[in-house]
């Protein structure tokens, strides 16, 4: 019986010392999954994505600017809120390829997870909020260009609205975007997703899950597609340093379970990416991402 394919590379770990984003989580989640029984046959190791795949989504000017600016990292720290270097760009190219593989393999196996990705603030012509290439949009564009996919939905449950993804697919009837997020946080102003569900800070499990349950099924019914790309951010967590949605770990488990149940009910494949998560203890974000993998395993078993 097929398990979810997991895409991961040691190159995922970004060189962002003392940054609020705990990039060691990529390695630590992989180690935790191995300890929990992840087998070699269910792991793919991505290399860097091809430049032509970037250009399916991002403007040539933007790609060339990123390539040029890596020679002078200090110039772009304020723009992207990260130290941009050749090593960082190379890491993100591996993340983009991992998400591309996850989409490809989800269409084969029914479920796949990249232990990275979710750089949903990158627009086709610019980067924002720790993001400069949008792996979600790149992966979907690659699958469409290869004839493997005609329609898809993006379900983004990260703390922050997936503004770059919404912008990348604005006016594209084949890709529908759903974002449930904290309304009074970055990005401000927000882009327009196909459906946005903005919640106030302090919401907690019950109002959050009620809003998800009230809005997601209708969205999926209105935008039938064979693939759901799940941007499964851990940052709605109650201990997160960047937000205030205050979901418990159990609330996050119930969130993931509901999304996957709705996908299973409609016969959809699911490709998932990790996206954000900024608690004081890296162990917390690792545990939340491991919970996602366990939920995908149950989803894959139910789908067979």
Q: With bands split at pLDDT 50, 70 and 90, how would you rate the model's confidence at 88?
A: confident
Report, as an integer, the average pLDDT of 225-248: 96
Structure confidence by residue, pLDDT tens digits, 252-281: 999 999 999 999 999 999 999 999 999 999
pLDDT of residue 21: 76
Domain ranges within the chain, ordered by starting residue? 5-14+24-303
pLDDT above 90 coverage of the chain, percent: 83
Q: Which CATH number fits domain 5-14+24-303: 3.50.50.60, 3.40.50.2300, 3.40.800.20, 3.90.550.10?
A: 3.40.800.20
Report, as an integer, the average pLDDT of 68-84: 63
pLDDT of residue 72: 62
Q: With bands split at pLDDT 50, 70 and 90, how would you rate the model's confidence at 247?
A: very high
Under a CB-based contact definition with an 8 Å cutoff, are residues 204 and 222 in contact? no
pLDDT of residue 87: 83
pLDDT of residue 158: 97
Q: With bands split at pLDDT 50, 70 and 90, how would you rate the model's confidence at 97?
A: very high
Task: Answer whether residue 112 shows pLDDT above 60.
Answer: yes
Pairing of strands 269-273, 175-182: unpaired
Report, as an integer, the average pLDDT of 63-69: 87
Report, as an integer, the average pLDDT of 132-158: 97
Report, as an integer, the average pLDDT of 85-108: 94
Q: Specify burial of residue 249 (Cβ count, 10 A radius: 0-12, 13-18, 19+).
A: middle
Q: With bands split at pLDDT 50, 70 and 90, how would you rate the model's confidence at 19?
A: low
- Average pLDDT of the residues of the chain: 93
pLDDT of residue 304: 67
How many Å apart are CA 225 and CA 237, to the nearest integer?
29
What is the phi-psi region of residue 91: left when phi exceeds 0, alpha when psi lies from -120 to 50, beta otherwise? alpha
Under a CB-based contact definition with an 8 Å cutoff, are residues 125 and 201 in contact? no
Structure confidence by residue, pLDDT tens digits, 35-48: 999 999 999 999 99
Task: Answer whether residue 178 shows pLDDT above 60.
Answer: yes
Q: Comparing 10-14, 249-253, 286-290, which segment has the lowest mean pLDDT?
A: 10-14
Task: Answer whether residue 229 shows pLDDT above 70.
Answer: yes
Task: Answer whether residue 78 shows pLDDT above 70.
Answer: no
The Cβ-side half-sphere exposure at 159, using a 13 Å CA radius, reads 26
More confident of the two residues 208 and 17: 208
pLDDT of residue 129: 84
pLDDT of residue 211: 98
pLDDT of residue 69: 75
pLDDT of residue 71: 63
Under a CB-based contact definition with an 8 Å cutoff, are residues 197 and 211 in contact? yes
Token readout for 32 is: 């935790």
């Amino acid at each position: 019986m097929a398990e979810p394919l997991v895409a991961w590379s040691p190159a995922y770990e970004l060189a962002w010392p003392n940054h609020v984003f705990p990039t060691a989580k990529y390695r630590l989640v992989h180690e935790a999954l191995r300890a929990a029984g992840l087998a070699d046959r269910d792991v793919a190791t991505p290399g860097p994505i091809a430049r032509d795949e970037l250009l399916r989504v991002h403007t040539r000017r933007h790609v060339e600017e990123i390539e040029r600016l890596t020679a002078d990292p200090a110039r772009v720290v304020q723009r992207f809120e990260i130290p941009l270097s050749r090593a960082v760009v190379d890491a993100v190219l591996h993340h983009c390829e991992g998400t591309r593989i996850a989409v490809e393999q989800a269409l084969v196996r029914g479920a796949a997870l990249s232990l990275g990705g979710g750089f949903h603030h990158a627009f086709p012509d610019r980067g924002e909020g720790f993001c400069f290439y949008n792996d979600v949009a790149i992966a979907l564009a690659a699958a469409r260009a290869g004839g493997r996919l005609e329609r898809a939905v993006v379900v983004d449950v990260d703390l922050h609205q997936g503004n770059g993804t919404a912008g990348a697919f604005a006016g594209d009837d084949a890709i529908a975007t759903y974002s449930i997020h904290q309304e009074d946080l970055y990005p401000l102003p927000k882009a327009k997703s196909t459906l946005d569900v903005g919640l106030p800070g302090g919401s907690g499990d019950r109002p959050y899950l009620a809003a998800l349950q009230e809005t997601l099924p209708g969205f999926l019914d209105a935008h039938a597609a064979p693939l759901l790309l799940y941007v499964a951010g851990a940052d709605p967590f109650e201990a997160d340093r960047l937000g205030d949605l205050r979901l418990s770990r159990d609330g996050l488990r119930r969130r993931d379970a509901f999304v996957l149940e709705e996908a299973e009910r409609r016969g959809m494949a699911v490709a998932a990416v990790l996206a954000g998560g900024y608690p004081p203890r890296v162990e917390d974000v690792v545990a939340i991402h491991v919970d996602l993998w366990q939920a995908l395993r149950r989803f894959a078993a139910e789908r067979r």
